[in-house]
Amino acid sequence: MTVAGIVVGGLAIGAVYALVAIGLTLIFRATGIVNFAQGELLMIGAYTYVFLHGAGAPPAVQLVGSACAGMIAGLVLFGVTHFLLRRATEVVVIIGTLAISILLQAAARLEFTDNPMRAVPWLLGNRNLALAGAVISTNSLTIVVATLVIGGALILLFRHALLGKAMRAVAEDPYRAGLTGIPVRAMLAATWVAGGGVAGVAGLLLSPVTGVFPSMGAQVLFPALIAAALGGFESVEGVLLGGLVLGVVQTVGIFLVGGVFRDMITFGVLLAVLMWRPQGLFGARPERAH
Amino acid sequence: MKVFIRALLSGVLFVLGMAAGSPGLAAGVQGASPGSIDIGVQVSLTGPASSIGQGFKAGTQLAADEINAHGGINGRKIHLVFEDDAGTAAGGILAVRRLMEQDGVFAIFGGGVSTSTASVIPLVQQSQFLYYDSLASDPRVLEHYSPYVFSGATVVRADVTSYLADVMKQDFKAKRVATLTSDEGYCTSGMTLLKPKIVARGMDLVSEQTFQSGDIDFSAQGAALKAAKPDVIYLCGVPADGGRMIPQLRRDGVTAKFLGDPALADPVTIEGAGKVANGFYAPYEVSKDWLGETSGAMAEWKARFAKAFPHPAPGTPNSFSLAAYSDFFVFAEGIRRAGSEVTPDRVIAGLDSLRNFVGGKTAAWSYAVPIGTPRTFKKGDHKGSGERDMTLLIVRDGAFARAKGLQM
């Protein structure tokens, strides 16, 4: 009974890490940039959800609205990193995303203060389900199922759709992709938009659990980076699994040794991965240089 | 020529002598002049504890504005300088250093949380800088007596934990107790005091769960608490943490009574938790008048607050606004008793002479609303509040109300 509760709780928080990590990975693969403002895209999606919910919008509009808010913010970030910072090196652009992250948090703090705004669970409300003797919140299940659906859709997109294949081609080699007629800049923009949209949905899913506040995205960013590292910053499926594994390991670890050790558990996992599987849990081991 | 030089020197010495002897211009006193006095306010305006800081800032401002509107303290207008400590230890050091060295204030009125306050105590003690802590209840504030450090509205941890253990035992008739506490200073230091008191009262401490302030997921702790089957769970954290914890624990099937730390007796807890906050208990410690009362002194104070702040920060006024307001009059009384020549030592002597002082109940501050608990300080004992100043509250219909408890 306890085990089921812990596992589902871990899968739910891990699913949120995974959604943010997917966005981070998409952008990193396409541009080489680690977007430190990815958590703030989640925060924007969460605030959008609270306001749409407050305005009485139906669940479908709330979902689309949060995703769109994240997409628009992702597009703006694309503009900043690729036009305003076009002459900067990758490291400078990464620092630029950190600056944008702090800027967005500060703006939200000025507008909404640090006090969390309450959010009602999306779609199914605040209910519990009794499954095989265990009581599981429908919100946790919603988060896990929504993440699996989004992850599955992205996997299908990148494997079978022309748009996804073009995005992958640009991520592999933008020069050669351009030679084949793929609009490279548009594909890069599409990558940022996709990353923002996924983060926006993550904000909608996470907000009922935590409330909505300016630094909520920053709370998720480092675990998401670890989830991305577990996935080797490569495939959607790897990152998805990495996030879920991290969530469960973190939750079981907290259950066993206590919540004040959360960061030690999380970063211990990162250190272990970097030491034994630097290519990620599911990537191929690179050949050792001699 | 010699006569002229002698006359000139005499004139210069006379002017210097006059300046040295004039009120408020005693040599070496920074932040005070005959017409004004600069008071630094250390406050946690950003971060997870921002609701505490926003409320405290407004309460301080309200008291200072009222004093200035009535001519100041012995003719000196108060000039407040606010510095944000972000609720962190490093932020506290930075804020206090800025106030002492850059802003050059006369004294500091402390509204930081325990973490940011405990970190600055060694600094103010070494600097022999007058520091009046209104909010932090961490034992480290008064651990080593210093004539320069005072603790005001909040009840010290030793007394809070005795009160909590008594409520668990006598009011809740609990046999099995569990805890869920954050890494905030007042929670960690409080736990070391609370644990032996739970055991000494014949109760079993069946589960000790912890989290990091600002954490967003409590599913592991919820599972552990549910499995431990406690009668009551003590919750400790900042109000925003409380607003996240309570619904998640209830959602995870935890049915035990929740008894919160005094820090959780705040509207932000209810705002975050929503309907499931109903039935949540927390002691309240800065006034005998609960914030929700609609008549008497509290109604008068709330009306003044609303007039002064037509667009208040969300969740304010809160108990921290009350603490700031009532304690600022205590601090002001110390300055008033220093007389025309304001020095830290004279203000300390003024504060040390206070016996059951409440702003609004004496002629000098007749215009203040008398809502604070009585404050007594003496040389060697700067603990301003005790167990007797606490009131047990319960959330009913989305608002705190008095509960039947030890205060009845």
CATH number of B196's domain: 3.40.50.2300
| B123 and B106 within one domain | yes
User: Token digits for B401?
Assistant: 């109300």
Q: Which residue has the higher pLDDT, A118 or B343?
A: B343
Amino acid identity, position B55:
G
pLDDT of B49 reads 81
| B107 and B221 within one domain | no
> Is any Cβ of chain A less than 8 angstroms from the Cβ of B209?
yes
In a domain, residue B19? The reply is no
Reported ipTM: the value is: 0.77
Strand partners, B402: B393
**Region B66-80: what's the mean pLDDT?**
96
B292 pLDDT band, cuts 50/70/90, is: confident
| B222 and B73 within one domain | no
Cα(A216)–Cα(A219) distance, rounded to whole angstroms?
5
**Region B240-259: what's the mean pLDDT?**
91
In a domain, residue A233? The reply is no
**Region A23-51: what's the mean pLDDT?**
94
Q: Which domain range does residue A12 map to?
A: 2-218
Q: Is the CB of B272 less than 8 angstroms away from the CB of A211?
A: yes
pLDDT of B251 reads 84
Chain A residues touching residue B209 (CB < 8 angstroms) = 258-259
> Is any Cβ of chain A less than 8 angstroms from the Cβ of B208?
yes
B406 pLDDT band, cuts 50/70/90, is: low
Q: Is the CB of A209 less than 8 angstroms away from the CB of B271?
A: no
B17 pLDDT band, cuts 50/70/90, is: very low
Residues in chain B: 408
Q: Give the count of domains, chain B.
A: 2
Q: Is the CB of A116 less than 8 angstroms away from the CB of B274?
A: no
Highest mean pLDDT (candidates A142-146, A216-220, B230-234, B312-316)? B230-234
| B208 and B163 within one domain | yes
B50 pLDDT band, cuts 50/70/90, is: confident
> Is any Cβ of chain A less than 8 angstroms from the Cβ of B253?
yes
pLDDT > 60? residue A288: no
In a domain, residue B385? The reply is no
Q: Is the CB of A211 less than 8 angstroms away from the CB of B211?
A: no
Please write down the long-range contacts of B312-315, taking CB distance under 8 Å and 24 or more positions apart.
Answer: B312/B58, B313/A113, B313/A115, B313/B51, B313/B54, B313/B55, B313/B58, B314/A113, B314/A115, B314/B51, B314/B268, B314/B271, B315/A115, B315/B51, B315/B54, B315/B55, B315/B239, B315/B266, B315/B267, B315/B268, B315/B271
**Region A195-217: what's the mean pLDDT?**
92
Q: Is the CB of A258 less than 8 angstroms away from the CB of B208?
A: yes
**Residue B33: Cβ within 10 Å count:** 17
In a domain, residue A276? The reply is no
pLDDT of B143 reads 84
pLDDT > 70? residue A130: yes
CA distance B65 to chain A (A): 24
Q: Is A141 helix (H, G, I), strand (E, B) or coil?
A: helix
pLDDT of B114 reads 87
**Cα A72 to the chain's mean position, in Å?**
16
B6 pLDDT band, cuts 50/70/90, is: low
> Is any Cβ of chain A less than 8 angstroms from the Cβ of B48?
yes
In a domain, residue B205? The reply is yes
Q: Which domain range does residue B247 map to?
A: 157-284+390-402
Helical packing angle, A2-31 and A236-257, nearest 10°: 140
pLDDT of B18 reads 42
CA distance A186 to chain B (A): 36
Question: What is the percent of chain A where pLDDT is above 90?
Answer: 60
Pick from A64-73, A119-128, A189-198, B370-379: least confident: A119-128
CA distance A258 to chain B (A): 6
> Is any Cβ of chain B less than 8 angstroms from the Cβ of A32?
no
Chain A residues touching residue B278 (CB < 8 angstroms) = none
Q: Given B221, B253, B268, which is nearest A254 (Cβ)?
A: B221
pLDDT of B22 reads 42
Q: Given A113, A251, A263, which is nearest B50 (Cβ)?
A: A113
In a domain, residue B4? The reply is no
Q: Is the CB of A114 less than 8 angstroms away from the CB of B46?
A: yes
pLDDT of A116 reads 84
Q: Is the CB of A260 less than 8 angstroms away from the CB of B183?
A: yes
Q: Tens of pLDDT along A94-116?
A: 999 999 999 999 899 888 888 78
| B251 and B337 within one domain | no
In a domain, residue B215? The reply is yes
B-facing residues of A in 126-165 (CB < 8 A) are 126, 128, 135, 137, 139-140
Question: By the 8 A CB rule, do B138 and B118 touch?
Answer: yes
In a domain, residue A192? The reply is yes
User: Which residue does chain A place closest to B266, by CA atoms?
Assistant: A115
pLDDT of A189 reads 95
Pick from A3-12, B233-242, B295-304, B330-339: least confident: A3-12
**Region B333-350: what's the mean pLDDT?**
95
Q: Is the CB of B240 less than 8 angstroms away from the CB of A116?
A: yes
| B337 and B309 within one domain | yes
